[in-house]
A = this chain, B = another copy of it.
Amino acid sequence: MLLYNSQVSGNCYKVRLLLTLLGIPFERQEVDVVDRSGRMELLGELNPALRVPTLILEDGQPLAESNAILCYLAEGTELLPDDRLERARVLQWLFFEQYSHEPNIAVVRFWVAVSPDPPPDAELQARRAAGHAALAAMERHLATRPYLVAERYTVADIALYAYTHVAHEGGFDMSGYPAIGAWLDRVAARPGHVTIDA
């Protein structure tokens, strides 16, 4: 498989982490996430959204959107439940991640730690507040559970881990989220876990 990758992107990290856990070998092609010129030429035929990660499967078929890739790769493994409701709950957290979590926590981290051209401070503060609301939702949920769904480690945990564990790089004070902290440690201690810089 070939992964159109950015090493600083948590969305790409999700895919690298799962491929590694599943023992699937893959090659990488690094894509610039600051200079987006040339995206249409590079990804236009592969991913209408022109984003990374985009994964080229063994038969040459492209697949995009990090959380769709997670579900595809985890199909038939213990990382994606077979039970219809548990599977839907995994999806519930994956959509929460892309709608309520990533656009706030990942985007603030990008603006603070990566982008040469961050937006006005008011917009950053609004995103930071929304990011804290997402973290509060996770904290309430994890206060009584070891993992997000089905009492076990699933792709929902992989997806939410990706940007939660680097939220501090965006200036998020994580000290008010002890259940998240314990869950982050639990995920990082999983056999075969690799870090975002791997």
The contact of A100 among B49, B68, B71, by CB within 8 Å, is B49
Alpha-carbon gap, A134 to B49, bound state (A): 7
Contact residues in B for A84 (Cβ distance below 8 Å): 72, 75
CB distance from A6 to the nearest CB of B (A): 16
Q: With a CB–CB cut-off of 8 A, which chain B residues contact A57?
A: 85
The complex is assembled from copies of this chain, and their number is 2
Q: Which residues of B contact A68 (CB under 8 A)?
A: 88-89, 91-92, 94-95
Residues of B within 8 A of A88 (CB): 63, 68-69, 71-72
Q: A99-B98, A102-B99, A103-B99 are in contact. Are A138 and B48 (CB under 8 A)?
A: yes
A169 within 8 A of B: no
CA distance A44 to B95 in the complex (A): 18
A67 near B: Cβ within 8 Å? yes
For A66, list chain B residues within 8 Å (CB): 95
Contact with B along A106-148 (1 / 0, CB 8 A): 0000000000000000010000000000100110110000000
Instruction: Digitize A64-86: 1 where CB-to-B-CB distance is under 8 Å, 0 elsewhere.
Output: 11111101100100000000110
Which of chain B's residues have a CB closer than 8 A to the CB of A103?
Answer: 99, 103
Chain A: residues with CB nearer than 8 A to chain B? Answer: 44, 48-51, 57, 61, 63-69, 71-72, 75, 84-85, 87-89, 91-92, 94-96, 98-100, 102-103, 123, 134, 137-138, 140-141
A-B contact pairs, 8 of them (CB 8 A): A44-B140, A63-B88, A63-B92, A64-B92, A67-B95, A71-B87, A75-B84, A95-B98
